[in-house]
Structure 1
Amino acid sequence: MGDIFVGACSWTDRELLSSGWYPQGHRGAEAGLRHYTTRFPLVEVDATYYALPSTRNSTLWVERSPAGFRFDVKAFSLLTGHPTRSGALPAELRQAAAVRHGRTGADHGLLDEVWRRFSGALEPLRRAERLGTVLFQFPPWLAPGPSATATLRRCRERTEGWPVAVEFRHPNWWRPEHFASTSGLLAELDFAAVAVDMVQSLPTSIPPVTPVTSARLAVVRFHGRNGAWGTGSKEDRFRHRYTPEELSSWVPAVRATADRAHEVHVLFNNCCGDVAVRAAETMDHLLGTPSAAARAAAPRVAAFPSRTAAAGQEGLWCE
């Protein structure tokens, strides 16, 4: 059975910092991460979706985390085709971006530079074997079809040598009529599929299926089951406190997934106060996974073997 890593999608969320989950004196950047790593072996970095990461921060994350800890990093919005404010770009790149109706349109030269900076900033994590995966969360308008398939193929060409996980936001990808073709395409590209738990009463609800498309990794992300998904504030969308019964229903599927993948990452994205970390603690207990401290003390192998020997595929963009 593969290793199961459980964690949350932020360790610096403002409501989490004020919730009381961190002990007194452990809410700063360094102390907070060091405390988090004693409780969980995995965290997702969501801030990189909103702004490009920096080499300095990646280096600090390595210094402040134990061997065997994993950082899953969310791809910058421009790299997944989402609307991107020009203000999210470094100042020296903003003039190269043309802003139309709130979306940033960019030529390939700018996109190449953005990808070069994004991938370069993650190198300290990869060298230290702390990089779990780069999460490409594609927008809801990326529906199955020839154009989307071409986008995914270009994405693999541009990210060769990097561990990549893909989360679709259009529900048709995992409907029964598309399930086999979606699984086959991701398997061909060696992209790890992301399974999703969310409210199931909406037209945009992603089916709660657990495909395994890469022997290296499978990912399950829990978004909460709030009916306000897609509307209202961040707190409205993600305000959901998972019950033990709701989480227990996922335990067999997570364990079955671990029988087919080297690692399974289980992440809680219901970031509202401390509910994500509390749900992660409950899931850890239900799964009986080793504590973060026990994992740190155990000998570890590399996070994932690279598909190629070429470690530095930079200057490229996933269209």
Structure 2
Amino acid sequence: MGRILVGTCSWTDPALAESGWYPPDARSAEERLRHYASRFPLVEVDATYYALPSGRNSLLWVERTPPGFVFDVKAFSLLTRHPTRATALPAAMRPHTGRPTVYADDLPPGAVDEVWERFLGALRPLHEAGRLGSVLLQFPPWFRPGPQAREYLLECRRRCAPYRVGVEFRNGAWLEEGARREGTLDFLRSHGLPLVCADTVQGQAASVPPVAAASSGRLSVVRFHGRSPAWSGGDRTERFRHRCTEGELAEWVPRIRSLAGDAAEVHVLFNNCCGDAAPSAAARMSALLGLAARTGSA
């Protein structure tokens, strides 16, 4: 049976800080991370989607967490075909498009290579300390199945090596029941690419079927986004305003255990980051899975 780690997709979210989940004396970033790491063994860093990370922060994260604590890191938006704020790029790389957001195709190939190098290089301290769980490659709804998309998945895998990656689709066509789903899973398995299993509200533009399949023997990832009806619209707060019910969590318990039977490690992450909904759900899922509670200080 593989190791199961449960955590949330942020420890810095303002709504979490304001919810009362942190003790009153945990005011600084360091104190909050230390407190979080005393409760959970895993966290996802989502700030790296919006801005390139720094090696200094990676070193600080290692220093502020106990041995064995794991960070999954979300890939910078430009690298997963998302629009990216031009100001998030180093000044020398910003294209003269006049638009506030840019895509990788707006940059010369050499600049894209440098973005990859900066992103991956900043994660090296985590990797060298044995704390980097995986790089989350979350693709947008317009990333549809096809030869070019599959080639890009392989390119991402090559670039990220030796780091582990996880592949999350936001276009349900990849996992349509039947031949399309089997083709996707066969492709991922043949290249050792872990599928990120997603729990979301169904029937919306960015919805994908809640497929629980281990496509790599090394790692499997499950991300709970919450089942808010505003998932594909509204502001960020409304999209993630959801508290997982006992039934929603319970239906995933046998699926997660099955994944752990096929993969050496399973990461279970809660992205319903509104108030304390994510850590509350993570704590309850840990209990349902029979995982030992963490109550000590980091």
TM-score, normalised relative to structure 2 = 0.95
SS in structure 1 at match of 2:12: coil
Partner residue in 2 for 1:107: 108
SS in structure 1 at match of 2:123: helix
Q: Pairwise mapping of residues 293-308 of structure 1 onto structure 2 (< 5 A)?
A: none
Partner residue in 2 for 1:307: none
Task: After TM superposition, give the deviation of residue 155 of structure 1 in Å.
Answer: 1.8
Partner residue in 1 for 2:93: 93
SS in structure 2 at match of 1:259: helix
Partner residue in 2 for 1:19: 19
AA matched with 1:79: L
Query: Quick check: 1:125–1:131 contact (8 Å CA) kept in 2?
Result: yes
Task: After TM superposition, give the deviation of residue 149 of structure 1 in Å.
Answer: 1.4
Query: Quick check: 1:70–1:131 contact (8 Å CA) kept in 2?
Result: yes
Partner residue in 1 for 2:63: 63
Partner residue in 1 for 2:75: 75
Deviation string 1:48-96 (CA, Å, 9 cap, x unpaired) is 00000001100000000111111000000011110011111123433x5
Task: After TM superposition, give the deviation of residue 147 of structure 1 in Å.
Answer: 1.6
My pick for the range that moved more, 82-91 or 151-160, is: 151-160
TM-score, normalised relative to structure 1 = 0.89
Q: Pairwise mapping of residues 101-250 of structure 1 onto structure 2 (< 5 A)?
A: 102-104=101-103, 105-176=106-177, 177-250=179-252
SS in structure 2 at match of 1:24: coil
Greater relative CO (CA pairs within 8 A, separation 6+): 1
Partner residue in 2 for 1:50: 50
CA gap 1:73/1:109 in 2 versus in 1, 3 angstroms? same
Question: 249, 270, 273: which one pairs with 2:272?
Answer: 270
AA matched with 2:235: S
Query: Quick check: 1:201–1:227 contact (8 Å CA) kept in 2?
Result: no
4+ residue segments displaced more than 4 Å: 96-101
Task: After TM superposition, give the deviation of residue 183 of structure 1 in Å.
Answer: 0.9
CA gap 1:71/1:97 in 2 versus in 1, 3 angstroms? farther
SS in structure 1 at match of 2:195: strand
SS in structure 2 at match of 1:195: strand
Determine the C-alpha separation between the residues in 2 that align with 1:140 and 1:248. 28
Task: After TM superposition, give the deviation of residue 126 of structure 1 in Å.
Answer: 0.2
Determine the C-alpha separation between the residues in 2 that align with 1:45 and 1:140. 21
Task: After TM superposition, give the deviation of residue 190 of structure 1 in Å.
Answer: 1.4
Partner residue in 2 for 1:310: none
Deviation string 1:236-266 (CA, Å, 9 cap, x unpaired) is 1010011112101110000111000011000
Count of equivalent residues: 294
For the pair 1:31 / 2:51, whether they are aligned, the reply is no
Q: Pairwise mapping of residues 256-295 of structure 1 onto structure 2 (< 5 A)?
A: 256-292=258-294
Percent of aligned pairs with the same residue? 56
Which blocks of at least 5 consecutive residues in structure 2 are unaligned?
none
Determine the C-alpha separation between the residues in 1 that align with 2:50 and 2:273. 16
AA matched with 2:293: S
- CA RMSD in angstroms comes to 1.6
Query: Quick check: 2:120–2:160 contact (8 Å CA) kept in 1?
Result: no
AA matched with 2:55: T
My pick for the range that moved more, 150-159 or 186-195, is: 150-159
